[in-house]
Structure 1
């Protein structure tokens, strides 16, 4: 196994630069997720690590080797794509062992590695089947098995769960995490789904428009976002951001004062509060908000509200019989508030 070191990586298409001097240091055995909206550059960065996309500046090292000019086959990586890309006329075992066969590995060694990977992925009873006789989740496991048998230094996953239904996605998330815990192979996982990133990764790299906004553990990003973009991208439903002013002691929300300590900035701010940190209070003790829509999910109730022209989301574990148009009073939890500069969007 080996770590991956990305230093000042740049990528341009003609005169348009799409990756702007990215730096990421991935430790040996670490699971790192690259997340961000479509077009942010996360898949391009992954493809540059794999050698599928040439770089225009900077260096990529896998272990002690700088791999900038090495073809994919010489980088000792294995990639799992969004599409399964299985050979329909070959059996599961033949699909899993094909790369080793091309590399002219010993037949007995191929069989041993395929058997080991099949046992890890619970595919033993399907080794003689063709891909058309498998479910979507089983096909994805075959694609993962094809990567495992190569025993690479680094696994690269490019949105591998996007084509699965909701239930299978959750199941495969668990299987990928168990696989990493067992093999401890360095893994880079690209996804636009922040829930996948939060549940799978040791650390998350949040990207936007070809730059890195923040790197940290899932809870670091959730509890201490560096800016408004990270605050709203990490967490579902998103953090609420309210226009306000700060006088050095409290935040003023259209005449409603919320005490806030540890902030030296004065003037216009954006107050961030997560939906689960809005508490129902009595009239006069909180901020009046008008209920728009109520979405009960069973374990919790999600409520969409309106305050001073701004949309607010609140989540309650308790069950409440709210009705559209009803005015409720909510108070932000003072221990879980975030304050951002109204101009730059940076945390203050």
Structure 2
């Protein structure tokens, strides 16, 4: 078994505590992504799982073994870093084989594992090249191949795609996901890019300031964010957030924000006069005669979608349309939020109602 259990894990540097009692259960074969803004503690947490950072409190188990005091080399993990960390004087095949040679693995086994990993990653034609003769994507594949040949219980990825251009990042995240589907090795992946998290993860762990904000499947977090932080961090473009008060009209709940009335879905238990933050994703706004009025500001067509910034009720609201609309700056339009797609958060705590 290669499940990973993080139990009440804490990390402090002197009096400064940066990881505050984190609990995460990662099942055998699961692909879990740790996501959050810079400085939230995701890389520190990964490094504690790897054994590269000491643990101030709590326990980390890999399989059935507590590894708090186990050296990194004995944890049966393999890590892929943001920097490729390849040996420039070694050919690809030697870079991939290096860790096995250090363990004095039988040369025939080394050759077999290198050949197998190279075949999986499409590196067979490049085995006799040096890293300087490879593209960025090929170097990242070599770093992944070096991890694969070890046949570890757990793969750890620390922002491995940050140094690649946008097109190559899309390609590489697909390849990493396909690799996981083929090998079915437990994987913990760190990124600050929520699009990477949404497209790759079985489950996402959202971190902020060393605390877990929410854990769940990508669409679960997207559809039911636990609080304002998760609502704004997950989803691109970000959710529109509008502060207001609850108003009951004809037995139906609305959020009154200036001269704008925003419909609240029946799943939210709200009361008259309650201070809340209303959330609506850009794609859940539609053109309708009975919507609120706003003026078109900036129009950003991307081909498959059109993003429109609308000034309404003293604030800018972003709408996203997959249909082709010919908007022009200054044009007056009416937008209606889809009632059941609306989110409501407590005005004081920021927690979902």
* TM value normalised by structure 1: 0.97
Query: 2:253 aligned with 1:250, yes or no?
Result: yes
Deviation (angstroms), 1:168: 0.4
Residues 1:279 and 2:281 aligned together: no
Gaps of 5+ in 2: none
Give, in angstroms, the shift of residue 264 of structure 1: 2.6
- Alpha-carbon displacement from aligned partner over 1:13-67 (angstroms, at most 9, x marks no partner): 1111000000000000000000000000000000000000001000000000000
SS of 1:87's equivalent?
A: coil
Aligned to 2:58: 58
Give the root-mean-square deviation of aligned CA atoms: 1.0
- 8 Å Cα contact 1:250/1:257 also seen in 2: no
The question of 1:192 aligning with 2:192 is answered yes
Distance in 2 of aligned mates of 1:208 and 1:280? 36
CA distance in 1 between counterparts of 2:311 and 2:260 reads 15
Show the 5 A alignment for 1:1-348.
2-247=2-247, 249-251=252-254, 252-260=256-264, 261-266=266-271, 267-282=274-289, 285-348=290-353
Instruction: Return the alpha-carbon distance in structure 1 between the equivalents of residues 101 and 58 of structure 2.
Output: 35
Asked if 2 retains the 8 angstrom alpha-carbon contact of 1:43 and 1:158, the reply is: yes
Tell me, yes or no, if the aligned pair for 1:20 and 1:211 is still in contact at 8 Å.
yes
Counterparts of 2:85 and 2:136, CA distance in 1: 12
Looking at structure 2, the residues matched to 280 and 131 of structure 1 have their Cα atoms a distance apart, in angstroms, of 53
Structure 1 position 220, deviation (Å): 0.2
Q: TM-score normalised to the size of structure 2?
A: 0.96
Contact 1:33/1:191 (<8 A) preserved: yes
**Distance in 2 of aligned mates of 1:136 and 1:60:** 33
Distance 2:338 2:232 in 1: 18
Kept after mapping to 1: 8 A contact 2:261/2:292: no
